[in-house]
Amino acid sequence: MIDKASYLIEPWAIRESGVDLYDLGRSESLFALSNGHIGLRGNLDEGDPHGLPGSYLNSVHELRPLPYAEAGYGYPESGQTVINVTDGKIIRLLVDDEPFDIRYGELLSHQRMIDFREGVLTRDVEWVSPAGQTIRVHSERLVSFSQRSIAAFYYEVEAIGDPARVVIQSELVANEQLPTWRGDPRAAAALESPLISERHRADGTKVETVHITRHSEIRVAAAMDHHFEGPDSLGISSESEPDAGRVTATVVLLPGQKLRMVKWLAYGWSEQRSLPALRDQAVAALVAARQTGWGGLVREQKEYLDAFWARADVEVDGDPEVQQAVRFALFHVLQSAARAERRAIPAKGLTGPGYDGHAFWDSETYVLPVLTYTAPAAAGDALRWRHATLPLARERAELLDLAGAAFPWRTIHGEECSGYWPAGTAAFHVNADIADAVARYVNVTEDERFEREVGLEILVETARLWRSLGHHDLDGRFRIDGVTGPDEYSAIADNNVYTNLMAQRNLIAAADAARRHPDRAAELGVDAEVTASWRDAAEDMFIPYDPHLGVHPQSEGFTEHQVWDFEHTTAEQYPLLLHFPYFDLYRKQVVKQADLVLAMQRCGDAFTMDEKIRNFAYYEALTVRDSSLSACCQAVMAAECGHLSLAHDYLREAALMDLRDIEHNTGDGLHMASLAGSWIALVEGFGGLRDGGEVIAFSPRLPEGLTRLAFGLCVRGRHLRVEVSDATATYTVSEGPAMTLLHHGQTVRVQPGEPVSLDVPPAPVLERPRQPAGREPLRFLRPPGEGGPSNPGAGSSAGGAASVGGGHGGHSGVGGHPGVGGHSGVGGHTGGRGGSGSTAGAVPSATGSTVDG
């Protein structure tokens, strides 16, 4: 029995050799396939054993109660949780009546692999049954980018040594048994068997099922069809029941003979459409997929990815782990959004149920910058989803006695699902984050139609929110009091610098967009007086500064708080949220995730270089990174300030968050923001990308461990290729007209097909800033001769020879805030999100953005 998996370091693939029964949840997340519409966890074909079964349709969710010890006005009354829909991945195999199960018999070899250029999960197994029969199994799986409602499977069994009676059972299964919720029993009851059967039918090689969710009343159709090839003795039958459907193939294989099966799986869902219409939709998708065939789907998958990598690939020389990790990241970020088509991008994508399947501000702040430059159509669709939820955001603002729209802190459907308001409702910066993503998208794509039809209304409604949320004080300063910034260890603070700066940008962007589209602005009730009030608020925005320390306080008065006692905080007491009350955290100088540092990254023109250096050093000493959102931001600002080695360490932590399972919760799903953060750390950090206006700017510098960095950007109708080495940077416009850019402040004109190479100035020599004791960025053992960091430092997971190591994953939950329940993998503090081993907990409406798919 092979009981330990290793993951080889390869530039274009993730490959698992062996299998670890105690780490199945993690591997299921790493090998998940999705297209943004359908998500299939990387469960073994035969279904058992598993860490956590998972088949997801974007935005298909169930409602559950949000319990409170003490309810209050404006508290959400129900939450939304992603559900495991009808599972069509299962292909059971029996060999001479022995079920194929890797826990029994003898597993001679086991390997799985995804080549990021192919988009297909392949598996090769050699197994000896308890009765001594040897077989080989080769399987392939894809979730189609070209046909968004389709997943497909290729399955091949070969008898070795002796004849074997082989039975394949291809299944559709609803209401699979999942790990038991450990939180509120009412929530557990709401999510137990959430699908009610409405129709099931089997005919030949086809099976159709239709279910409806018990409380949210979302209808889900699933259908499968098959093609078999094998000896003449092959027999095929099918059957169905309310929660299952099965197609069975039986044959006797002589040594060397093979039984082959292609399985097509189609999904559809809707909140509004009738059962016949939804059934017909799934069946039609199935017919189209079968006509395309397995080979055709594989070709279409590669063609789609060829086009993506041609514009989006990032090449890294000198650190093979980071090279693999950034392509792994780009592949999964694309999977999270490619065919989402006006639906949310959840924090875990469609790779697992972590965070209840909710979308947060992560999408706009971390994922959309990557998509805007590499897959802009997907970024535009994600913003159209936000636009579709504007009616619900307006209702939320009205409930809070505010103007405009208040977008939710966490949601699936568009309603607020955070039961802990200090870290949820009070985190109003999500509105500016969405507005910033709109402004970035318009700036990069120059999509005037999008701005007029979608972006302007988002900018207007969020600007109205800030104008009503803030006020001018007696000194004429525009203040935004009583809010929570990105750092969840501070709450209900006055004048959070990140929030105020992002609100300032929001107000200006809204006024500028209204000026470009005066007729449309007038339809939205915006006139010159309104835009003038927005510009006044932006101009008078209060940005706190501490002249005694020479730094910006994270929020007004923050630097006057007592500094957390880091010296007497043990390693076992991190993450702090699991060992200390929020009351204590909120009134101390301790930072969970980059806040002021993120403000400098996103609003760099608001700070001088000297301020950035001082601020960065000050907050390094306070930031404990109990969040996966920090490392990439710290990497970017470390690089800008000249701490290139430190930036490399943070890059590796962001890039390897899931490959190394740093927070020990990859089993709940991948961290999309941290994956996107690896691109951000490389492109914005070492590439020095800044793009806040008409001229795109770069200030590239590489750390000692990297010898070359190259990346592509889709920007303003051009494809720009940037290549950086130790001494030079080369800019090439491979598609589109000439463009002007800045290189370390120098204006450069780049003509199409005529590369321009420029010298890279050396970085300043600065003392490396210190972090809290024991919270230094993780460093990992590296295989000899691989380059990059080689000392283990403070890291915990060390890789073996030429492999990526990692800790055990699993579906683990955390307790949390009093009165707010949780479940396994979805912990108690429903407003924010935990660190190691922790994720967070979570409304019915007849309206919203996600009505069918």
Beta bridge partners of 729: 724, 758
φ, ψ at 20 (rounded to 5°)? -115, 110
Retrieve residue 583's tokens: 């009351």
3-class DSSP state of 283? helix
CB 529 within 8 A of CB 620: no
The C-alpha atoms of residue 291 and residue 283 are separated, in whole angstroms, by 12
Whether 546 has a binding-site annotation, put simply, is: no
Give, to the nearest 10 degrees, the angle between helix 376-388 and helix 429-445: 140
3-class DSSP state of 153? strand
Longest dimension (CA), the chain: 90
The residues, ordered by sequence, that sit 6+ positions from 594 with a Cβ below 8 Å of its Cβ are 486, 487, 601, 619, 623, 629, 630, 633, 634
What does each C-alpha distance from 151 to 207, 222, 557 come to in angstroms? Answer: 15, 11, 54
The residues, ordered by sequence, that sit 6+ positions from 236 with a Cβ below 8 Å of its Cβ are 204, 205, 226, 228, 247, 248, 249, 250
CB 311 within 8 A of CB 719: yes
CB 101 within 8 A of CB 90: no
Retrieve residue 787's tokens: 């380059």
Which of 488, 556, 640, 653 is flagged as catalytic?
488
CB 318 within 8 A of CB 785: no
DSSP letter string over 785-821? TS-S--S-TT-S----TTEE------------STT--
The C-alpha atoms of residue 762 and residue 764 are separated, in whole angstroms, by 7
The C-alpha atoms of residue 267 and residue 39 are separated, in whole angstroms, by 11
Other C-beta atoms closer than 10 Å to the C-beta of 229 total 11
Specify whether 684 is catalytic: no
Other C-beta atoms closer than 10 Å to the C-beta of 12 total 16
Whether 593 has a binding-site annotation, put simply, is: yes
Beta bridge partners of 9: 14
The C-alpha atoms of residue 733 and residue 572 are separated, in whole angstroms, by 51
Chain centroid to CA 181: how far?
24
Whether 679 has a binding-site annotation, put simply, is: no
| Alpha carbons within 13 A on the beta-carbon side of 318 | 16
The C-alpha atoms of residue 62 and residue 552 are separated, in whole angstroms, by 43
The C-alpha atoms of residue 317 and residue 704 are separated, in whole angstroms, by 11
Whether 362 has a binding-site annotation, put simply, is: yes
3-state secondary structure string, 693-753? CCCEEECCCCCCCCCEEEEEEEECCEEEEEEEECCEEEEEEEECCCEEEEECCEEEEECEC
The C-alpha atoms of residue 839 and residue 837 are separated, in whole angstroms, by 7
Q: Would you name the residues annotated as active-site residues? A: 488
Residue ranges at the known binding site for substrate: 361-362, 592-593
